[in-house]
Amino acid sequence: MANDRRAQGQAMRRKLMGEAYADKLDKGIYNHPIMEKFAAYTQEAVFGTLWTRPGLALKTRALICVISDVAQGRDPELKVHLRFARNQGWTEDELSEALLHLAGYIGAPLVRESLLTAIEVFKEMAAE
């Protein structure tokens, strides 16, 4: 069962982030024994269990991750989750508006940093 969940998770992860970006991460960050263990865990538990659950569209799940990252000031994760969101159909304008909306709830400094991160990710994706 765990191998099935991991295989499902690997496929889901690649679907969310795109083949080229998944390959880039796998050859970079996750090409280390410690990070390989982390990847195995997240592929099974996060991507294979959470992301494959019924009840919410992938597009909605991606936006939830973006909002969570912004609220916690997790810019490295925000970079990944913005890609997920764009790959699931959210536009740059929609994501920017969602981030701006958060300013009234979590504060301008976190939102400002997140908008700068979004600009960076959008430029990278446009260049790919």
| CATH (domain of 103) | 1.20.1290.10
pLDDT in tens, 48-78: 999 999 999 999 999 999 999 999 999 999 9
Do 112 and 61 lie in one domain? The reply is: yes
Residue 3 in this model has a pLDDT that exceeds 90? no
First CA to last CA across the chain, in angstroms?
36
Do 65 and 126 lie in one domain? The reply is: yes
Choose one of 38, 53, 68: the last residue of a domain: 53
- Residue keyed to tokens 């989750």: 81
Residue 113 in this model has a pLDDT that exceeds 70? yes
Range of the domain at 21: 1-53
Do 69 and 35 lie in one domain? The reply is: no
Residue 35 in this model has a pLDDT that exceeds 90? yes
Domain count, the chain: 2
pLDDT at 19: 94
pTM: 0.91
Nearest Cα residue to 90 out of 69, 54, 127, 118: 118
